């Protein structure tokens, strides 16, 4: 278990800190199940959901450790999240927004 900082122990002795115990295989399995459920529920926004999932995995594994790449990738994740919301509100089989508008949303949000 991690040692509690002295200031925290003094000012907030009632706060319980989580243990550093986690099961990596269980965490990975839950992440896969949640990602699959998200893709299944995306409806007509499936392409946007796949791109968003790829951006999230790229950010979590590589990009957040590289200063400017992490910032740009997080901005793209936020833009794709917005685009996914717009794309999922349209009926299946219809193009929700033009690709140019979609990429503008990704890069300018």
The predicted structure's pLDDT at residue 8:
61
- Overall average pLDDT of the 57-81 stretch: 91
Question: What's the pLDDT tens digit per position in 7-16?
Answer: 666 676 676 6
Higher pLDDT: 28 or 21? It is 28
Give me the chain's average pLDDT, please.
76
- Overall average pLDDT of the 16-43 stretch: 79
Name the region of 66 (left: φ>0; alpha: ψ -120 to 50; beta: rest): beta
Q: Name the residue among 104, 109, 96 with its Cα closest to residue 47.
A: 96
Residue with the two structure tokens 């991690």 = 2
The predicted structure's pLDDT at residue 72:
92
pTM score > 0.75 for this model?
Answer: no
């Amino acid at each position: 278990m991690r040692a509690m900082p002295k200031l925290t122990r003094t000012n907030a002795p009632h706060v319980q800190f989580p243990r550093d115990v986690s099961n990596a295989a269980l965490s990975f399995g839950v992440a896969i199940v949640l990602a699959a459920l998200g893709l299944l529920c995306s409806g007509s926004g499936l392409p946007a959901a796949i791109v968003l999932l790829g951006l999230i995995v790229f950010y979590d594994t590589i990009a957040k450790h590289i200063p400017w790449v992490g910032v740009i990738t997080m901005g793209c994740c936020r833009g794709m999240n917005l685009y996914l919301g717009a794309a999922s509100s349209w009926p299946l089989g219809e193009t929700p927004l033009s690709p140019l508008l979609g990429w503008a949303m990704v890069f300018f949000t």
